[in-house]
Amino acid sequence: MDKNKITQKLMAGQRLMLGFDGMEFNNELKHIINDINASGIILFARNIESPEQVSCLCSDCQTYAGARGLPPLFIAIDQEGGAVARLKEPFTVFKGNPFIDTVEDARTFASITAHELAQVGINMNFAPVLDIAPKGVDSIMKDRVFKGDAKTISRLGTQIILTLQEKGIMAVAKHFPGIGRTIKDSHFHLPVLDIDLESLIQSDMVPFVDAKNQGVAGIMLSHILYPQLDYHWQASLSPFIANDLLRNQMGYDGLVMTDDLDMKAIEHDMETCIQQILTSGIDMALICHKGPGIDKAFHEILGRLNRDENLYLMGKKSLERILRVKKKYLQG
């Protein structure tokens, strides 16, 4: 993209990945793309009817963004297989991570999934799940995680990342720094995981370090509170976890994004969320449902970039990361 066309509106909008209603290109999508300049959109079951319909929807969105002189869109989906798979038949239906036992299984899942996503214009998969569910813990993630220890999960997860990205689909590893030990669902509660950093580094974070070394396009932060790491803020709003731990200590320079800000684990108002996201150096906030939060988030980002020189400079770095990934995967 021409650097001369980079505006504060674009800087603000590219920090958002947004959900929407409907199965075809509509005024809501025009608003998301043209008025907000969103970095991308997220597809759910409510947006999906058939391969042909999804393909037309994605194509219309990309064509519109191009016509408005905007960067190509991230078009993302949760296609983990098993319990979380937005695309149903006639797309290939997989049993999910608990049934992936070998590297060959992982390669097969990722290869077929990448092909089918690319065929309909989806370019980002919020997968793989790299959380570890220890034995003896009734993990909320037990139906979504690979079986085994950290090394096994790394081996299977990095194979999925490698295969997806070799075939042009950006992978997003989740949920940093690991939520496999939690028993509450962050869609409905704020789970608290009282664990020390060294234990996380020795186990839960191992697959994420390997994903970083594999060049994973994105890492999604959890909505879990880790009081021994940050007593006040969930990982998705924490300067220590997102910036000090993931960026500085781990050395990750890909895309960092929140989980959905509409979840019940996030009880803060949108202004507070955006302040934390910007000061933490998180690249993109996910807001997965239509509502006033989308416009509030955009205007809050825009206002803070205008008022705070430090946030503006951090915002430039985030935009550079976003555009770098888009150039690699979406512009050749």
Quick one: which H or E segment has residue 18? strand 16-18
pLDDT digits (tens, 9 = 90+) for 310-324: 999 999 999 999 999
pLDDT recorded at residue 191: 87
**pLDDT tier at 1 (50, 70, 90 boundaries)?**
low
**pLDDT tier at 188 (50, 70, 90 boundaries)?**
low
Calculate ∠ Cα 259-126-210, nearest 5°.
Answer: 95
pLDDT recorded at residue 183: 81
pLDDT digits (tens, 9 = 90+) for 112-130: 999 999 999 999 999 999 9
Cα atoms found within 13 Å of the Cα of residue 326, Cβ hemisphere only: 18
Q: pTM for the full model?
A: 0.95
pLDDT digits (tens, 9 = 90+) for 261-291: 987 657 788 999 999 999 999 999 999 998 8
pLDDT at 2 exceeding the cut of 60: no
Give the mean model confidence (pLDDT) for residues 30-48: 98
- Residue 73, judged by CB atoms within 10 A of its CB (0-12, 13-18, 19+), counts as buried
pLDDT digits (tens, 9 = 90+) for 213-246: 999 999 999 999 999 999 999 999 999 999 999 9
Strands (E), 59-206: 74-77, 79-81, 84-85, 124-125, 170-176
| Cβ neighbours around 53 below 10 Å, total | 14
pLDDT above 90 covers a percentage of the chain that reads: 87
Q: Return the SS3 of 125.
A: strand
**pLDDT tier at 189 (50, 70, 90 boundaries)?**
low
pLDDT recorded at residue 332: 59
Give the mean model confidence (pLDDT) for residues 99-121: 98
pLDDT recorded at residue 4: 45
The mean predicted confidence, pLDDT, of the chain is 94
Nearest to 193 by CA among 151, 221, 234: 234
pLDDT recorded at residue 159: 98
